[in-house]
Structure 1
Amino acid sequence: MKIRILGAGPAGLYFAALMKQHNPAHDIVIYERNPRDATWGFGVVFSDRALEFLRADDEALYQYLTPHLENWPEITVSRNDVKVPIAGNGFSSIGRLELLTLLYQYVEKLGVKIQFDTEITDLKAVGEADLVVAANGAFSWVRNENEAQFGTQTDWRPNKFIWYGTTKAFNSLTLTFRETDLGVFCAHHYRYKPDMSTFLVEVTDETWRRAGFEHMSPEDTMHYCEQAFAHELEGHPIISNNSHWRNFPAIWNERWYNGNVVLLGDALRTAHFSIGSGTRLAMEDAVALFKAFQATGDDVQAALPKFQELRWPPVRKIWDAANISIRWYEEMDQRVPELAPVELAYNYMTRTGRVNHAELRRRDPALAQAYEALHPELQ
């Protein structure tokens, strides 16, 4: 097969690797608009469960990546200065650029060609191909130019977030909620290198406007966030990588392919960063698409419907949960002041309905007991 892939992110890279391993005769080229050493953001995370899925599908890649991961056995929910550790929630992290570099090397050793600094804006530019994979991110032009065919729905959510890094190395994936006179400031932060952490700041639109962020320079914005989270940062600076305020687009497509063109990763659907790793979802998309080709003998017209059939149920379930999680954060100005730290941690863990009281008791008996002490009706 002649396969052309737009976007050298985890979805496109991993699909290329799986197809090339299965049949080295496949002619696979990946087009990436950015230079080899460019990326936005800082670290990405995988839950322990996500890594077990990867290990089940690809032991070799699992063994290749794991020496480069930072690991911790719990998450932490912090309300002002009170921290509530939550057991039974192991995660691993890695720098986004480091992950991509490792995947570049992995696929190139298999014989896949990556063309960096190559901006493709017209499908005709890829030439004749049996399969075109649009793995070119949440703002995919392939999807945007064919929204009617894909049945695209885009819901821009009101909260603002900005993806920073910091030299402060945190010991776990932590959600810090700081109450201020202007509203609640939330930081999602975790270590991805021994001396670096992701530090993503999120606020409601109302808090963002009250703080005056719309009129601040990038430097003033960084300084403001450093002051808001001075207790957590302990003198460490916030670091920008073309960081700017964003709104999250909740994207869904009713039809995942159009002719021989298929959407993958964030081009296919976005899931809010609070629900888990978009990287994990992208790689699972790649596995499902690969398995669809395995099942159909590389028949493109049969494989693409098969891919949607296989992947739709788990993706829709995660996407629905992610949208519930988005709305939980959109209510944090009202929610956080009303809840004691233990109640906030419990409320956070059970917010989507995927974790009930029995499951939380299994994961972390101490947190369940602390919550039951506040709510005797559950005992």
Structure 2
Amino acid sequence: MKVKLMRKRTNVIMRHLAFKIGAALVLAIVWTFLLAYLLFGYFLYQTEHLLFDLANSFVMFYLFYEGYIRIITFLDRRFPKWQMNAEKYIVGLVLFKVYSLLVFVLVSFLPARLLFGDVFISPLSDAAELRLSFIMLVLVSALYYGILTSFHIFKNIHQASLQAEKMQKEIAQAQFDTLKSQVNPHFLFNSLNVLTSLIPLDPDMAEKFTEQLSKAYRYVLEHKADDMVLLKTELEFIHAYLFLIDIRFKDKLKLNINLPADRLHWLLPPLTLQLLIENAIKHNVLSKKSPLHIDIFVDENDYLCVTNNLQVRDDKMISTGVGLRNITNRYGYLTDKPTHFGVEGKSYVTKIPLLQSV
């Protein structure tokens, strides 16, 4: 693992170095021939001067990039890292211009004087050559700084976006884990209450109830760490769960499941159906005379739909919306497809996307 990581870092460093060398070489060629044309009126001149100018221009632009990185690092320590305001930009530009002037003098001007006695062999006077070189340097350094800073800003924006997305997913995952840890005890608590009351009245039914409770809770334990399960697997749990709640509510709840066979191997977060059924029971009146009807089916957009007739309690419980919000957050962690919850006519409709396995 460490060898792989070191190899990966080495590859990144080598690619970065190759990019710096390639960019410096291209800029050196453009700078040398452009300045030659402005001074002489043509691109080619004495070979020894040409090779020297290409070499020191290459070193100059390579040092420009190294200096720019250190200036930006300095600015990021003194100013907000993800922000590029006018003050930060101007301070950086001034620092870079001073740095680029020093590099030009040390790498290009002084070596040329020492080797050739003149910076250029041209019809212009030394003063005119220096003025032109200085003007070109000012323009090129400003353009160079502006282009690199634009890339730096875009890189920061992209990194901030990735960081925000990562944080959002981490929050959604934490909410997902919290939801699962809350559902398990709640489900067990209700089931044990029913079992306690059932044992003295009907021991045989209590035994069957215990078997189904064991089957249902095994599902909870086996899949509590999973992000998604097959719809078929969730339905097997729901059938055991329905046996348990049918004991609680007798004939007060009617559940109609109509799912195509070719969708049973699609995916959804575990315990989602159980939570939606529990939510419908929580907010509606159930009676033998007016049972709560819950329909589960798949629509034309491959959304799993859970609908129930509205029989809102008179003593309507205050809903925090935590359960449905957690389902939305769970799906936000898994997919970009939206969820839907709301009243449509005389029914409450929930639509959650089924996901295909990769």
TM-score bracket relative to the smaller structure? under 0.3
Richer in helix (by share): 2
Q: RCO higher in 1 or 2 (8 Å CA, sep ≥ 6)?
A: 1
TM-score between both structures, scaled by the size of structure 1? 0.19
TM-score between both structures, scaled by the size of structure 2? 0.20
Structure label with greater radius of gyration? 2
Richer in strand (by share): 1
